[in-house]
Amino acid sequence: MSPTVLVTSLTALLLHVAFVHPIMSDAARFPWQTLPPGHPGSGNPVIYPPGTIHYVRQEKKITPRPVFQRAWYVGFFLMVVAVIIIYALLYITVLLRFRAAEQASMRNCLAEENRGPIRNPLYADFSEY
């Protein structure tokens, strides 16, 4: 026998033992498989071992996703509205602060003008009394 034929036959034997034999033995060891290894649609009956509990599919109730996951843009919208409100409040407080400072400076200016010899009772500074 030539070495090429010997190597080819040994390779074929090893491949048969490595791949085909485990598939056939799995089908023999696990006869309750619904799709045993082999060609599809072989028509062989599925044999279940004694005492087997049959699987009954149970429908899982799917809970609805939270609002902020379904409508993710609502969170961004709320954040934008919150930032706009904060900026508006900051603008109003700065505006009122500058108006109060302007009124205080005008009050001081008028008080200095009214300290002269002629006192105008409409613009008089009564803080000294």
Q: 129 and 69 in one domain?
A: yes
The two structure tokens encoding residue 7:
């190597």
Contact by Cβ (8 Å): 114, 101: no
Stronger pLDDT, 34 or 113, i.e. the higher one:
113
- Angle value at C-alpha 53, between 49 and 58, nearest 5 degrees: 140
Number of H helices, E strands in the chain: 4, 0
Band of pLDDT at residue 48, cut at 50, 70 and 90: low
Which residues, including other chains, have CB under 8 Å from residue 98's CB and lie 6 or more apart? none
What domain range is 49 assigned to? 1-58
The two structure tokens encoding residue 74:
């609502």
- Entry pTM: 0.38
Query: Among residues 40, 58, 76, which one ends one of the domains?
Result: 58
Mean of pLDDT values over 95-108: 90
Stronger pLDDT, 27 or 103, i.e. the higher one:
103
Q: How many domains does the chain have?
A: 2
